[in-house]
Amino acid sequence: MNTYKLYHLNMIATIIGVIIFSAFIIGYHYSGVDYYIKIDNPSKISPINFPISNTLLISYEYKGIARDSSGKPRQMKFNTIQIKGTNLKSGEIIRLTYNKYYGVVRYKQISRKSVPKKARLKGIY
């Protein structure tokens, strides 16, 4: 095998290795168990000022008991950073993705129909 082919083979193997390693790291950081919570008013509100763009963002902290798809409860606390006036409304259902190393890594507002039946029966709403 000449060096030109060997060089290309090494490059392809390196690229594949980097892609696999990156997928592992992303999965490790952002995967987790989905929990469902019905939020109340935020427990803490803090302004965040960006002097460069003159934008005012607000940090909202929410606390409560969330349930996984089997109905198992867990005390949760998570923060959102949003433009003033666009905070989550009281009574909305939120799906939280909880990672055991990093805490809540994602949240998304969902409809009541999207909540698993066991979580619904255990008191989400």
Residue 120, pLDDT > 80, answer no
Would you put residue 32 in left (φ > 0), alpha (ψ -120 to 50) or beta?
A: left
pLDDT digits (tens, 9 = 90+) for 37-82: 998 888 898 888 777 777 778 889 999 999 998 889 999 999 888 8
Instruction: Give the Cα-Cα-Cα angle 35, 37, 43 (nearest 5 degrees).
Output: 125
Query: Is the model more confident about 64 or about 124?
Result: 64
For residue 96 the two structure tokens come to 């939280």
pLDDT at position 124, please? 57
CA distance 32 to 35: 9
CA distance 82 to 92: 16
Report the chain's mean pLDDT, rounded to a whole number.
85
CA distance 111 to 124: 12
Confidence of residue 97 (pLDDT cuts 50, 70, 90): very high
Buried b (16+ CB within 10 A) or exposed e, 82-115: eeeeebbeeeebbbbbbeeeeebeebeeeeeeeb
Residue 36, pLDDT > 90, answer yes
**What is the value of pTM for the model shown?**
0.74
pLDDT at position 55, please? 74
